[in-house]
Structure 1
Amino acid sequence: MKQFLLLIGFLVGMGACKERAPEHVPTGMQYIPEGSYLRTVGLNQQEVEIEGFLLDKHPVTVAEFRTFIEKTGYKTDAEKFGDAGVFDPEKKTWTLVAGASWEYPLGKGTPKAEENHPVTQVSWNDAVAYCKWAGKRLPTEYEWEYAARSNGTKNTRYSWGNKLVENSQFKSNVWQGSFPSNNTAEDGYPYTAPVGIFGKTGHGLTDMGGNVWQWTSETFTEEGQPQMPDVMLLKGGSFMCDSTFCHNYQINGRTSSSRETALFHTGFRCAKSI
């Protein structure tokens, strides 16, 4: 009898250890419950287990980043260097533009970034600083992918499905036309778009593909290649991605950049452990 009661107590304790949804989810964040998903890389598959966490519903906006700057006096890497990366479609190459920053992504003398658009020209260092100030952190690659797969329940190419255009409506802000010389901007936006304008995933997230690349907490690694500790991983693709050249707005898309690099198509969203 004593052993039976001990067993019951053990099982109850096990049940108590099961993750519970947080009583309060901060405004602008989505609860992502624990679970798993099947991750395919090349011909290999692996089952990835994810603990529950919180994730920003959309990338950090210019308005949100402005609040951070005003409250802390933080100076971004681009502002320290005095320039940042912008792609020149005429020269078909990247160039450092003087005065380009989170507030003026294309450089001084160009229009200010719109408040409801994702902030860009922020380095990995800048993203980490913002997340720390907000009491958050950057997501891991697996967390990002799991959330993009609607908490592991979907196995589609994109976070919204398998087609870029559905019912004559674009589902993401990406490149249209002949890359890199001509962007027809059929989706309405040659550069960034307002966060959330292309709709939500089934689990309440927006911009999980296209619009801007998003920094993660991880260093970039590729099978068979040496790890570079100062090169960080990004997910999600951007408005510059074209299916014939850079099809990285797919869930499994990825790229890399150095910690201090700021580019006009790169932003971030924050996560938070429970």
Structure 2
Amino acid sequence: MKVKYCLILLISLIPLTLLLSPQGRGEGEGFVPKGNAAAYEPPSNHRTNEDISIKDCRGCHDGVYRERFDPLKNPECSDCHTPPSQGINVVSEIKKREGVDRRKGKEPNVLKLKDDVEMVYVPEGEFIMGSERMPDESPAHAAYMKKAFYIDKYEVTNERYEKFVNETGHRKPINWITGTYPEGKGKHPVVFVNWVDAFDYCKWAGKRLPTEAEWEKAARGEDGRSFPWGDALDPKKANMPISKIGDTTPIGSFEAGKSPYGAYDMAGNVYEWVEDWYYLYPNSRAKGRDFQKYAGEKNKILKGGSWYDCLAYECGLSAFTSNRAFFDPSIRNNSFGFRCVKSTDR
């Protein structure tokens, strides 16, 4: 029945899936948490999907298209979404940050920068980007990465983000209700961060947000695989809704799910903000007013899968490396996070 339910949703709610389809190392040398969904034991006080109540999300996401929610009319949505920033032109703020001079100097041969995060090397060269799975992921096409780069091995954690907050005075995530991150979640990915928060952290760390192309190559390698580990969906290799964990997990908990270059959690745990605005690929099958309505400098892209998806995404559809989530860049969500990259002249 579950499979049938997922197939029905996939067929009937494809536009909705398009809209909902939206690293830091731990303390101490040698911390690389390993394991899988079966081995991971969440803390007793964590909030599960049942606590959040999936049915409460239908007010935000019901219908063929996701409409911008009004937190005053839908207060139940605040468990998953904070409202767009008040009194701030987010597009203007993004423009200021995009104007930062990014000319490359001679790149030092290092794998750790200010935030002491281990990074993995991704070489230049051709790779397969996109897919024929969804209209806005099409067409699958050859892309060429002109320069190599480093990408964080793990998603940015609460511990790392707290260091950034303490040094800069940047706003804290809304779920840090005691003034710090939730107990026991230091090595979990930080959540409730919007695009600007992610940009500012990466800049502070001497890095930047990855482009969509950089993120996708780091996740799938050069052979166009559907998931970081291959072409078969496997809930034991990533923290996705069908893994039935119901919360974020410590970074690197899925050893078998890492990418060809050694990056972890690129098919689950949290969606990850990237630099790009949401535009359709050239020659995309996603044509017409319905798609163009959301394209342009309105929504930023999020890549990867998440521990939590509404409705059709309970099937694990967001875990694909080609998945293209997009949201208002001011949205902060309990399943949105990020990682950073560093350019190299090689």
TM-score by length of 2: 0.57
Q: Which residue identity is paired with 2:296?
A: M
Aligned: 1:215 with 2:215: no
> What code does the residue aligned with 1:73 have?
G
- 2:229 counterpart (139, 153, 160): 160
- Residue 157 of structure 1 deviates from its aligned partner by 1.4
SS of residue in 2 equivalent to 1:196: coil
1:268 maps onto 2:338 in alignment: yes
* 5+ long unaligned stretches in structure 2: 1-105, 133-137, 281-285
Change (3 A) 1:245 1:197: closer
Give the match for residue 58 of structure 1. Answer: 154
Tell me if 1:33 matches 2:123: yes
Shift of 1:244: 5.7
Q: Deviations over 1:39-92 (max 9, x none)?
A: 24436332101121110001100000000001111115x6xxxxxxxxxxxxxx
Per-residue deviation, residues 172-208 of structure 1 (Å, max 9, x unmatched): 00112xxxxxxx82xxx31101110001333211011
Counterparts of 1:58 and 1:64 in 2: how far apart (Å)? Answer: 11
SS at match of 1:54: strand
Please state if 1:116 is matched with 2:187: yes
What corresponds to 2:76 in structure 1?
A: none
Tell me the residue number matched to 2:251.
195
For residues 70 and 139 of structure 1, what CA distance do their matches in structure 2 show? 24
Partner of 1:97: none
From 139, 143, 149, the counterpart of 1:48: 143
Distance between the aligned counterparts of 1:233 and 1:243, measured in 2? 17
Partner secondary structure for residue 145 of structure 1: helix
Please give the residue correspondences for 1:67-216 in structure 2 after superposition, counting only pairs within 5 Å.
Answer: 67-76=163-172, 100-101=174-175, 103=176, 111-112=182-183, 114-150=185-221, 152=222, 154-165=223-234, 170-176=236-242, 185=244, 189-199=245-255, 200-216=258-274
Write the distance in 1 (CA, Å) between the matches of 2:279 and 2:110. Answer: 35
Shift of 1:22: 5.9
The amino acid across from 1:65 in the alignment is Y
1:245 CA displacement: 5.0
Aligned counterparts of 1:164 and 1:116: Cα–Cα separation in 2: 26
- Residue of structure 2 aligned with 1:230, choices 291, 298, 320: 298
* 1:121-180 C-alpha deviation (Å, 9 max, x unpaired): 000010001011011100011111111113x1x332111122333xxx70000112xxxx
**Identity level (%):** 33
State whether structure 2 residue 297 is matched by structure 1 residue 239: no
Structure 2 letter corresponding to 1:38 = I
AA aligned opposite 2:140: Q
Aligned residues: 214
RMSD: 2.6
Instruction: Measure, in 2, the Cα distance between the counterparts of 1:158 and 1:264.
Output: 23
* 1:217-257 CA distance string (max 9 Å, x none): 00012343153313100000101146665501101111111
Gaps of 5+ in 1: 1-19, 79-99, 177-183
- The residue type paired with residue 138 of structure 1 is L
> What residue number does 2:94 align with?
none
1:171 and 1:41 mapped to 2: Cα distance? Answer: 21
User: Larger % of strand: which?
Assistant: 1
After superposition, the Cα gap between the structure-2 partners of 1:171 and 1:258, relative to the gap in structure 1 and judged at 3 Å, is same
Closer, same or farther in 2 for the Cα pair 1:75/1:147, shift >3 Å?
A: same
Give the 3-state SS of the residue equivalent to 1:232 in structure 2: strand
Give distance in 1, aligned partners of 2:276 and 2:120. 21
| CA distance in structure 2 between the aligned counterparts of 1:163 and 1:21, rounded to whole angstroms | 37
Q: Which amino acid aligns with 2:224?
A: N
SS of 2:202's partner is: helix
Higher Cα Rg, which structure? 1
Measured in 1, the distance between the counterparts of 2:233 and 2:315 equals 15
